Amino acid sequence: MNVVVVGAGAIGMLVASFIAESSYKVTVISKREEQANLLKANGIVRKNLNQTIRINEVEVMTELSNISKDSVIIVAVKYAQLKDLYASISTLPDVPLLFIQNGLAHYEEALTLPQKTIFFCSCQFGAQKLNDYTVAHRGKGSMKLAFERGNHEAFDFLQQLQLDLLPIQIEENAEYMLFHKALLNCFINPLTAILKVKNGQLLESSHTFNIVESMYNEIILAFPEVKGTLSLEDVLDLCRKTSTNTSSMLTDFLQHRPTEMDTIVGAVIERASRRGSNLPTLSTLYHLLKVLEKSGEKM
Ligand SMILES: NC(=O)C1=CN([C@@H]2O[C@H](COP(=O)(O)OP(=O)(O)OC[C@H]3O[C@@H](n4cnc5c(N)ncnc54)[C@H](OP(=O)(O)O)[C@@H]3O)[C@@H](O)[C@H]2O)C=CC1
Ligand SMILES: CC(C)(CO)C(=O)C(=O)O
């Protein structure tokens, strides 16, 4: 089997490098020739949590069109980058797909694709791209997988890898899994992006802790059904586990790229508002970040 990872960014390189330690062939798709050449020359260099370095060779291609028939695809681009991929993915209806994005907006879109087999994933770990071929693992956490349709065994191989640093957890309901992760991101991503701090720093100040706690109380009031599966401790635990990570939203913000605010925070605010609830603290952060994003564009 050929495991194709589309997008050689933080998560794509990290996941590809772990899978490349198995007997499976791993092909990474980078749309930039320059990055493709660097990956071919250097492999993926992974900085582990304990600061050791691991180098894994992978195949590298710049387009999806030539992948072999025995492939499965892991889509590891940002939400906004998905739309440019849908056309090429649509030409491969028999190839199973796994979407790795944070947020909610891609869920419905993915279901309109002709793909027979679709899975979704929620990453509870952190990754940071250090250069075009080097990635740092920033926090051990599970890779949650949920089957949506088609062949439910297509990604069983990930579980069978039994990788200590990439534990796989199977979830029953893909949409709920994505919603649950979007809520977790709401506590961490906007605040880290606005304050330009790493995830763990949110716990170091009583002020940021109070903001996280207020958001938690407001979210539980709006979505009381999640209380059993999402405690404030779960939020703090994710901050601790990924304490050295620069959240994906802060990374986008620092690089003046569009953030995933709308598919994560905007989508949660909209769900709450459909129930007649507003989330004042989260909404304030949302609007603040929108203003900062706009002023950043002008800089
Ligand atoms: N980083 C993290 O710690 C975590 C991230 N996530 C989620 O994972 C997803 C990916 O995030 P992350 O890895 O951080 O993002 P990155 O921006 O680091 O990676 C995305 C990569 O996809 C590449 N890409 C974009 N379009 C294409 C294309 N058409 N073909 C091939 N490659 C393409 C980009 O290339 P280029 O840069 O050249 O545009 C980039 O290298 C996001 O939804 C994020 O929210 C989830 C948990 C943790
Ligand atoms: C898990 C976490 C919070 C890691 O930073 C993440 O999902 C992100 O950065 O988007």
Here the CATH number for the domain that contains residue 11 is 3.40.50.720
Q: Whose CA is closest to atom 48 on ligand 1? A: 126
* Ligand 1 proximity of 81 Cβ (cutoff 6 Å): yes
The predicted structure's pLDDT at residue 65:
85
Shared domain check, 236 and 160: no
The predicted structure's pLDDT at residue 283:
98
Shared domain check, 218 and 149: no
Q: What distances in angstroms separate CA 110 from CA 72, 80, 124, 210, 240, one per listed residue?
A: 15, 13, 21, 37, 32
Is the per-residue pLDDT at 249 higher than 60? yes
Contact 150, 118 (CB under 8 A): yes
* Ligand 1 proximity of 153 Cβ (cutoff 6 Å): no
* Ligand 2 proximity of 247 Cβ (cutoff 6 Å): yes
The predicted structure's pLDDT at residue 222:
98
Shared domain check, 188 and 167: no
Cα–Cα distance, 211 to 282 (Å, whole number): 9
Catalytic position from the list 129, 144, 181, 241? 181
* Ligand 1 proximity of 260 Cβ (cutoff 6 Å): yes
The predicted structure's pLDDT at residue 146:
98
* 71 SS3 class: strand
Q: Which of 143, 172, 201 is the last residue of a domain?
A: 172
Which of 49, 122, 199 is the pocket-test mutation for ligand 2 (most atoms within 8 Å of CB)? 199
Is the per-residue pLDDT at 220 higher than 80? yes
Shared domain check, 64 and 12: yes
Burial 118-144 (b: 16+ CB within 10 A, else e): bbbbbbbbbbbbeebbbbbbbbbbebb
pLDDT tens-digit map of 97-147: 999 999 999 999 999 999 999 999 999 999 999 999 999 999 999 999 999
Mean pLDDT of the chain: 96
Shared domain check, 254 and 183: yes
Is the per-residue pLDDT at 299 higher than 50? no
Domain count, the chain: 2
Ligand nearest to the backbone CA of 32: 1
The predicted structure's pLDDT at residue 295:
84
Q: Which of 172, 190, 209 is the last residue of a domain?
A: 172
* Token reading at 249: 């939203």
Shared domain check, 197 and 89: no
* Ligand 1 proximity of 9 Cβ (cutoff 6 Å): yes
Shared domain check, 286 and 154: no
- Is 198 an annotated catalytic residue? no
The predicted structure's pLDDT at residue 298:
53
Shared domain check, 168 and 220: no
Confidence of residue 234 (pLDDT cuts 50, 70, 90): very high
Q: Whose CA is closest to atom 7 on ligand 2? A: 185
Is the per-residue pLDDT at 296 higher than 90? no
CATH code (residue 281): 1.10.1040.10
Mean pLDDT of 169-175: 98
SS3 labels along 3-22: EEEECCCHHHHHHHHHHCCC
* Percentage of the residues of the chain whose pLDDT score is greater than 90: 94
Is the per-residue pLDDT at 45 higher than 90? yes
The predicted structure's pLDDT at residue 19:
96
The predicted structure's pLDDT at residue 202:
98
Is the per-residue pLDDT at 90 higher than 90? yes
Shared domain check, 185 and 168: no
Domain span including residue 288: 178-298
Shared domain check, 135 and 47: yes
Is the per-residue pLDDT at 21 higher than 60? yes
Shared domain check, 137 and 100: yes
Ligand nearest to the backbone CA of 122: 1
The predicted structure's pLDDT at residue 60:
98
Q: Which of 141, 172, 203 is the last residue of a domain?
A: 172
Quickly list DSSP for 166-195: S-EEEES-HHHHHHHHHHHHHHHHHHHHHH
Shared domain check, 62 and 13: yes
Mean pLDDT of 287-293: 94
H-type alpha helices, the chain:
10-19, 33-42, 79-82, 86-90, 105-111, 156-160, 174-195, 206-222, 232-241, 248-254, 261, 267-274, 280-298
Mean pLDDT of 39-63: 97
Is the per-residue pLDDT at 85 higher than 60? yes
* Ligand 2 proximity of 17 Cβ (cutoff 6 Å): no
- Whether ipTM tops 0.95, in short, is yes
Ligand nearest to the backbone CA of 76: 1
The predicted structure's pLDDT at residue 23:
87
